[in-house]
Structure 1
């Protein structure tokens, strides 16, 4: 393991625009300890040094957050909307699923596959007269805007989409397509 010198730690901290107090708070140590390490007057434990290096790495490579990946506005339906309304929105917005929102809170979702499955069971003629609640699946998971993208990736392995919920309301949505565009 490469062990940075006190001068290298100080230079990196300054380059990243961090104060000693910032590093101390994020590393869970005192500001005076950071100052003593940077001045070379104390030989820190490896665990303490590791904490400081980790804080500097995170500051150097800030994580991508759900809020920076999401797209808005979120097109949604209510449980009492006609299923034909949901289908029209899906066609117009070129999406394969929609959240179902009631009183500002997500309560379920409706997807192309759920619609097709229900049509298979009840027939296409009867499906025209049904409401969204008749086709509804479990709600998409929600994350706060500051959730890291790794959390979103994990959730998208099991779900069609992830809703970004902040201030008690849906602020945006993230789909698998939104994540793969980060590669390009």
Structure 2
């Protein structure tokens, strides 16, 4: 076992880009997640994997240690408590459509997508404020939601810790979006942290 680990480290020194990319994908990590664990930038990870930079030994050591970290236990990751079937609107949908979705599903905010990627959110309270200022009611309902975006929610990787998600929510954000390579995977609100964590703990 000790010899195998040494060979892996030797390969990391010889072909850092190839070995880091291979091990990262084997563990299901995004470049962003690996960068956070290693306390380096995502751009640096990308450049190393493309063999565009010759990393320092100290940098390789940090990345190697990050790759050897154990996966977080079930229930401690953002994706474990996220609502996966996210109700969304696209940038060119109308405010009227957004309001109908909010009423139908009993929610007060909707992520806004552009080509499948989150660009912000529309929220019930902010829509009410805009409505109160609008003189032409029909015009208000037919406006595009992109004109009514009031918030940009923090976006985290699926294996971001629940503790980090809570930090974002405590800073005043109404929701946190879970994304993977730019695509929306789930949404987490305060009630999701409180109730879904309880359900996961109970099932363990």
TM-score range, shorter chain: 0.5 to 0.7
- Post-superposition CA distance 1:50-106 (Å, at most 9, x none): xxxxxxxx97x9361001010111111112111010011111111100000101111
Query: Matches of residues 11-160 of structure 1 in structure 2 within 5 Å?
Result: 62=73, 64-123=76-135, 124-157=137-170, 158-160=172-174
Match of 2:52 in 1: none
| TM-score, length-scaled by structure 2 | 0.57
State how far apart, in whole Å, the 1-side matches of 2:182 and 2:2 are.
Answer: 35
State how far apart, in whole Å, the 2-side matches of 1:84 and 1:20 are.
Answer: 63
Which residue of 137, 160, 179 corresponds with 2:193? 179
Give yes or no for contact 1:107–1:138 (8 Å, CA) kept in 2. no
Over aligned residue pairs, what C-alpha RMSD do you find?
A: 2.3
Q: Deviation at 1:168? A: 2.7
State how far apart, in whole Å, the 2-side matches of 1:20 and 1:162 are.
Answer: 41
In structure 1, stretches of 5+ residues that fail to align are 1-18, 22-57
State how far apart, in whole Å, the 1-side matches of 2:192 and 2:87 are.
Answer: 15
Report the structure, 1 or 2, having the larger helix content. Answer: 2
Give yes or no for contact 1:161–1:176 (8 Å, CA) kept in 2. yes
Moved over 4 A (4+): none
Q: Deviation at 1:174? A: 0.5
Q: Deviation at 1:125? A: 4.2
Specify whether residues 20 and 144 from structure 1 end up closer, same or farther in structure 2 by C-alpha distance, changes over 3 A only: farther
Secondary structure of the corresponding residue to residue 146 of structure 1: coil
State how far apart, in whole Å, the 2-side matches of 1:179 and 1:80 are.
Answer: 31
Aligned length: 129
- Post-superposition CA distance 1:126-150 (Å, at most 9, x none): 4222221221113211000000001
